[in-house]
Amino acid sequence: MAGNRKKLQISRGGFLEVLKVALPLVLSQSCHAANMFVDRLMLARFSQEAVAASFTAGLTNFTIACFFIGTINYTGTFVAQYEGSRHREHIGQSVWQGIYLSLIGGALLFSGYFWAKPLFGLFPHASQVIAEEITYFKTLSLGGVMLMLSCVMPCFWTGRGKTHFVLAVSCIITLCNIPLNYILIYGKFGLPAGGVAGAALGTILAESIGAVIYFIAFLHPVSRRCFATWNCRLNWHLMSRMLRFGVPNGVNMAIDLVSFNTFALLLGCYGVAVQEATSITFGINNIAFCPVIGIAMTSSILVGQAVGAEKIALAKKSVRSCLILVTLYNGLMIVLFSCFQHLVLAPFIRPGDAAQLESIAIAGVMLYFISCYLFFDGINLVLSNALRGAGDTRFTMYAMSLAGIFCFATPCIVFYHLGFPWWALWLAMIFDIILLGVVFTIRYLRGAWTKMRVIEESALPDEDEQL
């Protein structure tokens, strides 16, 4: 029995190691999904215009932010490879470079407060929805720095595979976000009902609490001693490497989100019923998407650590384990979205609102479409994150950018202007996801990623360190 326990403990890249890292990330992403789900649920019960506006305005805000989010999130890969190579003295300074980039990104997001009105005036949405979109977007823009910091600070722990602390902070954020949104959306304890502005403000306050907790732990004496987190010097050499590998990741994420935002905004042009159904559907989809993101992040972490340690066979084993887990999970979600729609849609129904029945019916059809692409989306996410974990960011940028522009966004625009029904846009998205799943599978199997590194050669372990 003792031998079996020892064998389980040293089994690298297997299900146990993947689950040890992934489960806290899955639960952490589920906390994020719960925030969005409850946020949409509260706004759906507040008004149809509020829930419709929250999806498009929130997605637009995130789309503008995602170039910086994609770039600074690559801090985690540097942390992972420095951890794998045992050069932990570079970890703290890597995180500081990400913090400096996040401050620049936060300033850009803040400027959105001043150009929200002309931006949303470009979209042919209902006038009441546009007014709510402007309010939601302007409020979110004020908290741009907090969004950036809440993205970069967890990299210090996730890159090292220490994901339990990230889960703890995510739970605290959720426990703050839900009551804050309830109080600020509906106007409790003497406060006026804030609607979408209250929802955005509650999110900002909760993210601020999380960012403060992360920063205090980052500067803890143990962290300063083991990872040199006190070294906040701007390192141009390290910053240039981070930009070299991180910017393609940011561009990739930005174009991917621009394509998806184009899809969402065009769906809003089909009427408030379709727009509300889209908001509800993707709120539900987060139940499936966010846990898969957690496993995909694990793929990137374990590949980064294995590549930093020059152990490619271990990296491949970790990816294989992640793929199996994601496939099993997505199979459960396909059954849920295909056979038990009434259960997942019921919480969004407003009692006595007969006009909402059309939105609920459309949302049911959209859930079938989601079921069609979940299997390929899991492959896409795990393999693309594995490639990024090794440093293959340029290929992922080209693949996702070209597919997003020419196989997703452009067909959506053409279908809308040709008068095609709303479901034609969903077919374009399904094709895009299936295509990327095939492309990343081929790229991964060819193995070019096995020869890539993001850290300097001097930080790689020598032969005796690999043993």
Look at residue 464 in the predicted model and tell me its pLDDT: 41
Cβ pair 350, 49 in contact under 8 A:
no
Regions of the chain with pLDDT less than 70: 1-11, 287-288, 456-467
Residue from 209, 257, 210, 186 nearest 39 by CA = 186
Look at residue 466 in the predicted model and tell me its pLDDT: 42
Instruction: Decide if 151 is inside a domain.
Output: yes
Instruction: Decide if 2 is inside a domain.
Output: no
Instruction: Decide if 89 is inside a domain.
Output: yes
Rounded alpha-carbon distances, angstroms, from residue 177 to 199, 201, 202, 312, 466: 9, 10, 6, 41, 44
Look at residue 431 in the predicted model and tell me its pLDDT: 95
Instruction: Decide if 350 is inside a domain.
Output: yes
Token code pair at residue 205? 């306050």
Cβ pair 322, 382 in contact under 8 A:
yes
Look at residue 418 in the predicted model and tell me its pLDDT: 95
Look at residue 467 in the predicted model and tell me its pLDDT: 36
Q: How far apart are the first and last CA of the chain?
A: 27
Instruction: Decide if 241 is inside a domain.
Output: yes
Domain limits at 320? Answer: 17-450
Residue from 211, 210, 187, 208 nearest 198 by CA = 187
Instruction: Decide if 298 is inside a domain.
Output: yes
Query: pLDDT averaged over the chain?
Result: 87
Residue from 148, 135, 152, 151 nearest 200 by CA = 135
Rounded alpha-carbon distances, angstroms, from residue 7 to 12, 273, 314: 10, 56, 16
Look at residue 202 in the predicted model and tell me its pLDDT: 92
Instruction: Decide if 461 is inside a domain.
Output: no
- Summarised one tens digit per residue, pLDDT across range 249-284 is 889 888 988 898 889 889 988 888 898 888 888 878
Look at residue 7 in the predicted model and tell me its pLDDT: 45
Instruction: Decide if 205 is inside a domain.
Output: yes
Say how many domains are in the chain: 1
DSSP-derived letter for residue 14 is: S
Look at residue 11 in the predicted model and tell me its pLDDT: 67
